[in-house]
Amino acid sequence: MTYLSSLNEVQHQAVTHTDGPVMVIAGPGSGKTRVLTYRIAYLIEQGVAPQQILALTFTNKAAREMKERIQAVVGSKGERVWAGTFHSIFARILRVEAPKIDFPPAFTIYDRDDSKSLVGDIIKEMRLDPKQYNPNAVLARISSAKSNLITPELYAKDHELIHYDRMNKRPQIYDIYERYYKRCKQAGAMDFDDLLLQMYRLLQENKDNVREKYQRIFRYVLVDEFQDTNYLQYAIIKLLTVYHNSPFNICIVGDDAQSIYSFRGATIENILKFEQDFPEVSVFKLEQNYRSTDHIVKAANMVISNNNKQIQKEIWTELGDGHKIKVIKAVSDVEEGRLVASTIIEYKNRLHLENRDIAILYRTNAQSRVFEEHLRKQNLAYKIFGGLSFYQRKEVKDILGYLRLTVNERDDEAFKRIINTPKRGIGKTTTGKIAEIAVEEGVSMWAVLTSGLYPAKGKLASFVQMIEKFKAKAASSDAYEVAMMVAQESGIFEQLRQDQSIEGIGRMENASALLDGIKEFVENDIADEGATTDRSLAAYLSDIALLTDLDTTDEEESDYISLMTTHTAKGLEWKAVFVVGLEENLFPSYMSMGSPDQLDEERRLFYVSITRAKMFLALSYATSRYQFGQFRYNDPSRFLEEIDEIHFESTVERKKQLFKEPRLLADRPGRKKDFEPRVNPADFKPSPSEQLAEGMQVLHLQFGSGRILSIDGARDNKVATIHFDQGDDSERRIMLRFAKLQIVEQG
């Protein structure tokens, strides 16, 4: 057990304290992954069977790394540990247990596009105004309901939710939710949230004692990034670990300061509740940072201290002062790209860094383009993470659509995608009719065609025949052979072959790469020692539905600069990190400007970003940038001001320039001293900006009440001049696009 000697005292305790509930609060770079993996290795060495250990992570990458490191200590049996994302582990279990909750074993996983399209269809069927009922907004409500364990029945009875929807002029959401839920069920499909919700149902309803079965299997449960779990995930964890005579062998690892997923339902409350739910919990705080030098660590501490709620801790390092933080000011997004690229060249020459030591982190994917262009110009190898994953490309999704319909004929979203792809003369009128009958009869579109509810003649008959042929093939052959047949006989390969443009050839390559991937999946069967591994087509589809771009490894080139969003960067580290686009309305995002809680989350995101750097940290901003199709001027991010200038490399002169431009200080709402909201956020109900007019008395979350003096600017860019009752700068110009105002009195 020599590996234990490499741990510091707290880490050692966290690893060897195996029984009963354990909570590890782990600051950035504090050896969290080491603790988790060594703890699992230690359990195995203590005689716990690997297959009795469940380790839940948020990304496939984290799970993969964990498995590799466990195997490095305990050998190949480490492979049998149940390590994976919540979604992938639950999908695997549901694949086996689906009939117990009335789903087919070959259930489909609906991705975001599928969900959105279904919600859109339902909104149309209900003849609701799609402008008012924006599918994305509706879906967000449904997702948040599911994450909080609110089923359609509960939603309809929940006065608070109903009231909220009424206020937002979307009173029918409960109805849409109910229909959406039924239609997913009808299609034998689960969306991402259902993988959690249906897992909960499975355990809760406990048919054939399935709950006890999994309680018995998972003797030790570990949860990584616990601060990012939502109510539902925690509820499932409790079903698995809290029962009569339970040893409560649950270990959670997390950091409240790195909670950045509240937008998808994560709640910091879970950490606080954990101590109430498990009063006998042993708590270990990992505060020593082994990643970054002191200027970076101190800056990070300083930034996070501006947040309201947090578990007290102070991160420290023994790695020395290190380099100061570089601040890069650019006049435009294009110049920002150029300056970052040239700084990278300078770093590489002066500091002997490789490409792989460097990352550029941005708040939104849309920012990647300028950096891409300038890196290419400078001949620097780079890789963009995020954006469209391989499996989201059209040509790939088309083939997958056929495979989905083949394994699950009720999958209406797949049906709609491929019925006329490639074009076979079955247009939207026909498809519309089939869909209409399907809704009326409460059956799938496939059933409408095959049961005679709609006459399947001619083109439709050949389509049915083709799919039947695929289904027959699937019954007798492996996934690869089916996919090959689909690609050829559906006409997809033929169509791609005809397009000899550069993009067209690329699409053909993608389609072939998909088939290669399926072949690999099938052949892995032999390599895997576990006989239980599911190599079916359904299992393949389920696997890839949960993969992200981060999971597709390419071996050919490994020395590249990494470009990704700040969210994706969580858990990763580089010698040199560039956090870019540090401007108000971008980072922090304009979407978060309305509420202190959301601003705190942006700050945590910034905290996560800067703590990715081991030795060199550079922060850049542009005073103007092309955004939403026009030039916009934004102030430097408030987060820059939260770092003491002793940690900055730039001269004081430059810094003065940076912060003393008069307008920066004048109309900056979020500065600490005047940030106490003058309105109770709970009582604040923003009014739609199109209703705002001159003379109205309005309420602003930070500035309190005021009167609109005038509104000017073009449609999407309206700016209101408002006289606020309190405060020194009583007249402010507020962009209606960003600001949330509540009408108190029509003028």
Sites of contact with DNA (CB under 7 A): 58-60, 85-88, 112, 117, 120, 124, 130-131, 134, 136, 143, 192-193, 262-264, 363-366, 386, 420, 423-430, 546, 548, 550, 564-565, 567-568, 589, 591-592, 598, 601-602, 626, 628-629, 716
- Looking at the Cβ atoms of 131 and 244, the one nearer to DNA is 131
Q: Cα–Cα distance between 17 and 282 in angstroms, integer? A: 8
Bridge-based pairing state of the strands 316-317 and 108-110: unpaired
Smallest gap from residue 315 Cβ to DNA (A) = 24
Please identify which of the residues 11, 37, 52, 258 carries the catalytic annotation: 258
Cis ω before 588 (30° cut-off from 0): yes
Smallest gap from residue 113 Cβ to DNA (A) = 7
Residues with Cβ within 8 Å of 359's Cβ and at least 6 positions away in sequence, in order, are 561, 562, 563, 564, 569, 572, 574, 576, 577, 578, 612
Smallest gap from residue 118 Cβ to DNA (A) = 12
Three-state helix/strand/coil letters over 680-697: CHHHCCCCCHHHCCCCCE
Beta bridge partners of 636: 583
Smallest gap from residue 610 Cβ to DNA (A) = 17
Q: Cα–Cα distance between 115 and 292 in angstroms, integer? A: 42
350 burial level (CB within 10 Å; 0-12, 13-18, 19+): exposed
258 is known as an active-site residue = yes
333 is known as an active-site residue = no
Smallest gap from residue 591 Cβ to DNA (A) = 3
Please identify which of the residues 13, 16, 18, 33 carries the catalytic annotation: 33
- Looking at the Cβ atoms of 224 and 602, the one nearer to DNA is 602
The token pair that represents 411 in the structure block: 């999958």
Task: Report CA 603 to chain centroid distance, whole Å.
Answer: 17
495 is known as an active-site residue = no
Closest CA to 196 of 274, 144, 133: 144
Backbone phi, psi, residue 545, to 5°: -65, -25
Please identify which of the residues 612, 614, 625, 638 carries the catalytic annotation: 612
Closest CA to 488 of 402, 594, 595, 386: 402
CA within 13 Å, CB half, 136: 1
CB atoms within 10 A of CB 506: 14
CB 607, CB 646: distance < 8 Å = no
678 is known as an active-site residue = no
Residues with Cβ within 8 Å of 34's Cβ and at least 6 positions away in sequence, in order, are 6, 7, 11, 69
Please identify which of the residues 97, 224, 336, 602 carries the catalytic annotation: 224
Smallest gap from residue 716 Cβ to DNA (A) = 7
Please identify which of the residues 111, 121, 194, 225 carries the catalytic annotation: 225
Smallest gap from residue 233 Cβ to DNA (A) = 10
Backbone phi, psi, residue 525, to 5°: -50, -45
Smallest gap from residue 570 Cβ to DNA (A) = 9
Cis ω before 422 (30° cut-off from 0): yes
The residues carrying an active-site annotation are: 32-33, 224-225, 258, 612
